[in-house]
Structure 1
Amino acid sequence: MKLVWSPETASKAYLDTIQTCGISTKSSVAEFLSAMAAGYSAKLIVEAWKSDKINADSISTSIGLAIATKHNCGRYVCVVADEESRLEYVGAMQNSDVCLPEVVVGQAEEVMERLNGVDFLIVDERRSDFISVFNSARLSHRGAILVCKNGSKIRHIETSKFCWDNGVLDSKVCVVRSVTLPFGNGLEIAYIASKEGIQKARKNTNRWIRHIDRSSGEEHVIRR
C-alpha cells in the first residue's frame, strides 16, 4: 500500500477551505495544503505549529488541515512548544467553524515518539526544534508527505537551496522527489517512499555491478 491521489477529495477540501477562510483571488498555503492532505487521504496529519500574530496563514493553515481531516475521516494533531502557545492556538481555532484538533504540548522528540504512522507532516521552520521534529517523526509505511513552511534556513552551501538530506532528514528516509513552491513565505515539500518502494529501490540497486579495470582505470557498470 502507498499514498494514492484522489482529485475529487482534494477539490472538495480546497473549496471548503476557501469558503471557511474567506480566501479570494490569490492562492494561499491554507487551501493548497488542505487539498494536498485530503487528496492523498492522509490518515494522520501532524502540524508543528508556531504563533505568527502578523501573518494569518499560521492559523488558516490549521483550519485547512482540519477540513482535510474531516474529508479523510482521519486524525489531526497539532504540536505546540508551550502552554502559552496552546492557549493562543486553541483560542484562534475556536473562533473558526471547524473542529478543534488534538493539541499536544512538549518537546519534539517526546511528542513525535508517541505518534506512529504519520503520513502528512507540516513543520514551521521558525521553530527552533524544526529539524528535531522531522528527524523524530515515525512515518507511515505507506509513505509520507513532508512540508516545511516559512522560508529556508537550512541551505546547501553550493546551491543556496533548501536540502532535505542536508541534516534535515535521517539517512534511512528515502526522498522520492521534492519541490519548492512560492506559496506564503515559501514551502519545501518532500514525498517519502513507502516501505514497499524502498525495498524495490534496494532490489534494483543490487542488480548492477561496478567493475574497475586495473590496467586502464576505466569503470564498467554491468547488469546482472
Structure 2
Amino acid sequence: MKLVWSPETASKAYIDTVRSCEVSKGSSVAELVSAMAAGWNTQLVVETWSKGGAVATSIGLAVATHHTGGRHICVVPDEESRSEYVDAMRKSGQQAEVVVGQPEVAVEGLEGIDFLVVDGTRNDFVRILRVAKLGHRGAVLVCKNASSRAASDFRWRSVLDRKSRIVRSVLLPVGQGLDIAHIGAKGGDKVKGKSKSKWIRHIDEQSGEEYVIRT
C-alpha cells in the first residue's frame, strides 16, 4: 500500500480552508498544505507549534483530516502554549489533539506519521524530522518558513535515514517558503517506466501568482 492522490478531496479541503481562513491574513500556506494533506488521504497528521505562532496552517490541517477521517495532532512545548493554541483553534471552529512536551521527544513517540509539518524558524526542526517514525505507506514532510536563516542550508537527505526513498522534493515561494518532500512507501518496488504525474494548481492571494505543482 502507498499514499494515493485524490484531486477531488484535495479541492474540497482547499475550498473549505479558504472559507475557514477568511479572517486570517496570508493564509495561502494553510490552503496549500490542507489540499496536500487531504489529497494524499493522510491518516496521521502531526505538526509542531509554540506560543505566539499563527494557527492558519493548523486550521487547514484540521479541515484536511475532517475530509480524510484521520487524526490531527499538534505538539506544543508547554502548558502556556497549549492553552493559547486550544483557545485560538476553538475560536476558529476547529480543534486538534494536543500533546505537551519536548517536541522531538513527543514526535518520536508517535508512529505511522504520514504528514508532518515543522517550522524552519525553530532550532529543533531538524531533530524533529530525524526522529519522526513515518508510515509504511510513505509520507509527506513539510518545512514551512523555509526561507528563514535557520533553514537556508537545509537538505532533506541529511535528516532521513538511508532506507527512506525521496520520491520528489520541491521548494515553493509560498508564504515564507515551503520545502516539501514526498517519501516513498517502505518496501515498495520501483515502478519501471514513467509514472503518471498529478498536478496541484494554487494561486497566492497576496501576490496573485499562480503555482502549478507536479506531484
**TM value normalised by structure 2:** 0.81
Q: Is the 8 A contact 1:27 1:183 kept in 2?
A: no
Q: Equivalences for 1:46-57 in 2 at 5 Å? A: 46-52=46-52
In structure 2, the residue matched to 1:141 is 136
Does 1:61 find its partner at 2:57? yes
**Identity level (%):** 57
Q: Give the aligned partner of residue 201 of structure 2.
A: none
Pairs aligned (count): 188
In structure 2, the CA distance between the partners of 1:196 and 1:134, relative to structure 1 (3 Å rule), is same
**Cα displacement (A) at 1:109:** 3.4
Does 2:29 match 1:33? no
Contact 1:50–1:127 (8 Å) recurs in 2: no
Gaps of 5+ in 2: 191-215
Instruction: Report what 1:181 is aligned to.
Output: 172
Query: Which portions of structure 1, spanning 4 or more consecutive aligned residues, are displaced by more than 6 angstroms?
Result: 23-27
Q: Could you list the runs of 5+ residues in structure 1 that have no partner in the other structure?
A: 157-161, 202-224
Cα-to-partner distance string for 1:104-127 (whole Å, 9 max, x where unaligned): 111233212321100000001122
Instruction: Letter of the 1:66 partner, please give it.
Output: A
Whether the aligned pair in 2 keeps the contact of 1:108 and 1:132 (CA below 8 Å) is: no
RMSD of equivalent CA atoms: 2.0
Q: TM-score, normalised by structure 1?
A: 0.78
**Closer, same or farther: CA 95–26 of 1 in aligned 2, 3 Å:** closer
**Is 1:81–1:105's contact at 8 Å kept on the other side of the alignment?**
yes
**Cα deviation, residue 137, structure 1:** 0.6
CA contact (8 A) 1:109 1:132 kept: yes
| Cα distance in 2, alignment partners of residues 187 and 175 from structure 1 | 16
CA displacement 1:125-180 (0-9 Å, x = unmatched): 12221111111111000000000001242444xxxxx42123x3333322111000
8 Å Cα contact 2:27/2:57 also seen in 1 = no
Structure 1 range deviating more: 78-87 or 105-114: 105-114
In structure 2, how many angstroms separate the alpha carbons of the residues matched to 1:105 and 1:26? Answer: 27
Larger radius of gyration: 1
